[in-house]
Structure 1
Amino acid sequence: MTRWLCLPILLVLGGCSITIPSSPPPIRASAPAGAATLPPEIVSKKQSVVRVSGRAPACFKRIEGTGFVYVPQRVVTAAHVVAGITRSLSVTTDDGEAFPARVVAFDPSVDVAVLYVPDLSAPPLIIADAPPGNAYALAYPKGTGREVVQQMKIERHILASSLDIYEKRKVDRNILELSSADIAPGLSGAPLVVPGGKVAGMFLAGSRDAPNRGYALAAEEFKTIVIDAWDATRPVSTQRCSK
């Protein structure tokens, strides 16, 4: 039986969705350590993970993060990744193919957004709860040109108190506490894939006081939002940029 702890946590959201120049120089990432020995069910999921990018003119930003397909033509990501974006929203696959997208669900409290990408044919990932143990974050970290697979460990489940993406309202959420050798900027929205190939959570942020500690939103926390948006096509407001 999973044991939940109730703790206040401080998240560094700004270190997860990243602000970059409008025309960033192309950078190729080296293969992650241990890439040759990744479980085949993890490697097979890479095609379902995308880079999310767009422009937020009101705050003079071009924003990037990560997202993943959970049903055909729908991508889930963190709300703070797309907050304030009103132009050029797109998702890009690992082979460099870009597709226009629009936000059809946006929850700044839970920090979840869903994108409708009608031309995207990538297969969906299965979302399911998982106990503590090994996991892999599939993401596009800052400074990389390709998708990177980073091994992490789910240390424990936490019923955590933190603030919404606008730092205005207290929110209690089910969070997975993670340990890793490197919690890099750009992981926001990345799926946390466990052995067997299912998504146990979505990466949200790094810790302010521990550089190798991160936090992911537990699958049970965002299941309802993504299920409600599984056939949504109508655009919704992305409100304003997060801090």
Structure 2
Amino acid sequence: MRRYLVGLCTALLLLLGLATSAHADDISATGRGVVRVVTIAMVDDEVVGFGHGSGFVVAPNRIITNAHVVELAKRYPDNVVIGVVPSEGSKSYEGKVIAFDAARDLALIEFTGTRLPTVALYTGPIDEGAAVTALGYPGNVDLATAKSATDYIHPLSPIRSEGVFSGRRVMSGVEVMLHTANIARGNSGGPLLDPCGRVIGVNSAITRGEEGDSSFGFAIADTELLAFLAAAKQNVATVGTPCTSILDRIKQDSDAEAKANADAEATRRDAAAKAQVAHEEALARARDEAERNRENIMALAAVLLVAGALAIGGAGLLEVRGERRWAIWAAAGGGVLLVASAVVFFTRPDGEVVLPVTATPIAAPSVSSSAALGKMVCTVVPGKSRVVSSSIQDVALDWGAAGCMNGRTQYAESGSKWDRVLVPAEEQTVSVLEFDPATRTYTNMRYFLTADQMTAVREIRSQVSLKACSPDESARVALSTQQSAIRAALPAYPNEKIVYSCRATH
């Protein structure tokens, strides 16, 4: 019977087209990992029951949903089949319950046949009044648009609704999150998200609006979800950094760069002003010293002139007294003093000041962009990063000569920096990696793409011929050109920008 049902579903899905491409934002990026969960009850090869809800991917082959969505499959595994319908593609997949908690209303479903993009859980604080978004497959939309049961296994992007977080409550001993995002039957098991697309709860119930009362939604709280996953020994990506939009991150980076440039220019001007003041002060001191030296020399010339005149006058007195020999010596000495006075006077300084040439500081040698730097450990810089779902653990790098990363991946020159575009074969994420040898800064810009976008990018990537490190400069130039074509196919902005600061290891 199970084979019959799976075959029937497969046959139906062969008629389906591709899912609608997601928008280039964080919520749509998370939507890649949101699924519809279908349950079909069979008795004697006849369908006797049909139900559906929502879920989200916590591992490439596992999803979270509400326990009440798959309760019948848990109770009657031989008669109820679980179908996992991705948000894009052309196939659905059979799932099975591997963890079930009726009290928390949570279940973990495993499926095979494909790998789906995972979502991340936000573990930081959530303020009341914060914006939230519900993603899922509300039944009232299906009732309005579905033409047949086939439409329930047709891959479609999930419906989003927005509201605010209204606080935490306890319902039947379980912590829940009250919110105003519109949800309906069919949203059960779908994620409640923060503005960055991180999961903060699992939608499970709604209040009924009666006599004009407003409706509210309830989501199983993040604390309960984490406890359930821990009990099931299921790892999940968690992020605790506050939500910042990529445009805000880019603006902050631009502002920081502008401030750094302004500070550098102000420092340069300040240094130039101080140098000018110091120069003027040194010039004034040199002029004062030169003037004193000139006056001293002129005074010496006057002293020599007076001494010479006295000596000659003394020679005349000695001659009158008949002391001719001493008179000659006195006259000769006086003449010498007069000549010396003239020489000193006419060779006196002219008062012009010449300062000694200041030695120009020798700039520190610049880092060669092609030089090997060896092994490094790189740590995330939170103030410069925008993280949505990726790990922020340290990254080990080994930067070799001519842009060879870790001895196997060739990077292409980009000015004084090096970059490489990585297009994985299975994941739906493209990474643009950049390394700056001068500052030892490593940057990973990640783009969360739809299946159709990944197909297009992989087609371009298949034309890249340089796979390993190469000393051939022309091959690296060709790599740079090919990577530019891949960049042109990417959205205008990445979903994540993770900046690392690297230091040498010994």
| TM-score when normalising by structure 1 | 0.69
Residue 111 (structure 2) pairs with residue 123 (structure 1) = no
1:133-166, CA deviations, whole angstroms, 9 ceiling, x for partnerless residues?
Answer: 11111101114353211112111111x133xxxx
User: Which secondary structure state, in structure 2, belongs to the residue aligned with residue 152 of structure 1?
Assistant: strand
User: Which secondary structure state, in structure 1, belongs to the residue aligned with residue 72 of structure 2?
Assistant: coil
Residue aligning to 1:43: 28
- The within-5 A match list for 1:81-100 is 81-85=69-73, 86=77, 87-95=80-88, 96-100=90-94
Residue 179 (structure 2) pairs with residue 178 (structure 1) = yes
Greater fraction helix: 2
Tell me, in whole angstroms, the C-alpha distance in 1 between the residues paired with 2:33 and 2:200. 15
- The within-5 A match list for 1:3-152 is 40-56=25-41, 60-85=48-73, 86=77, 87-95=80-88, 96-129=90-123, 130-131=125-126, 132=128, 133-142=130-139, 143-144=141-142, 146=156, 147-152=158-163
User: Which of 226, 231, 235 is the matching residue for 2:229?
Assistant: 226
Tell me, in whole angstroms, the C-alpha distance in 1 between the residues paired with 2:214 and 2:37. 24
Range that drifts further, 80-89 or 213-222: 80-89
Structure 1 position 211, deviation (Å): 5.0
User: Which secondary structure state, in structure 1, belongs to the residue aligned with residue 226 of structure 2?
Assistant: helix
Paired residue type of 1:64: H
Using CA pairs under 8 Å that are at least 6 residues apart, name the structure with larger relative contact order, 1 or 2: 1
Structure 1 position 122, deviation (Å): 1.1
Tell me, in whole angstroms, the C-alpha distance in 2 between the residues paired with 1:57 and 1:97. 21
Contact map agreement 1:183 1:212 (CA 8 A) in 2: no
Residue aligning to 2:255: none
Structure 1 position 60, deviation (Å): 4.2
Structure 1 position 226, deviation (Å): 1.9
1:176-200, CA deviations, whole angstroms, 9 ceiling, x for partnerless residues?
Answer: 00113x3322110010110222100
Contact map agreement 1:76 1:226 (CA 8 A) in 2: no
Structure 1 residue runs without a partner (length 5+): 1-22, 24-30, 163-171, 233-243
Tell me, in whole angstroms, the C-alpha distance in 2 between the residues paired with 1:231 and 1:215. 24
Contact map agreement 1:103 1:114 (CA 8 A) in 2: yes
Tell me, in whole angstroms, the C-alpha distance in 2 between the residues paired with 1:184 and 1:116. 25
Structure 1 position 119, deviation (Å): 2.2
Contact map agreement 2:138 2:183 (CA 8 A) in 1: no
Give the 3 Å change call, closer, same or farther, for CA 69–63 of structure 1 in structure 2.
same
Residue aligning to 1:208: 208
User: Which secondary structure state, in structure 2, belongs to the residue aligned with residue 127 of structure 1?
Assistant: strand
Residue aligning to 1:161: 171
1:100-142, CA deviations, whole angstroms, 9 ceiling, x for partnerless residues?
Answer: 1100001111100000112231121111234131111110111
Paired residue type of 2:135: L
User: Which secondary structure state, in structure 2, belongs to the residue aligned with residue 45 of structure 1?
Assistant: helix
Structure whose alpha-carbon radius of gyration is higher? 2
Range that drifts further, 52-61 or 141-150: 52-61
Structure 1 position 39, deviation (Å): 7.6
Contact map agreement 2:41 2:81 (CA 8 A) in 1: no
How many percent identity over aligned positions? 26
Paired residue type of 1:152: G
Tell me, in whole angstroms, the C-alpha distance in 2 between the residues paired with 1:71 and 1:230. 12
User: Which secondary structure state, in structure 2, belongs to the residue aligned with residue 94 of structure 1?
Assistant: coil
User: Which secondary structure state, in structure 1, belongs to the residue aligned with residue 188 of structure 2?
Assistant: coil
Greater fraction strand: 1
Structure 1 position 82, deviation (Å): 0.3
Contact map agreement 2:208 2:215 (CA 8 A) in 1: no
Structure 2 residue runs without a partner (length 5+): 1-11, 13-19, 143-150, 236-506
Q: How many residues align?
A: 187
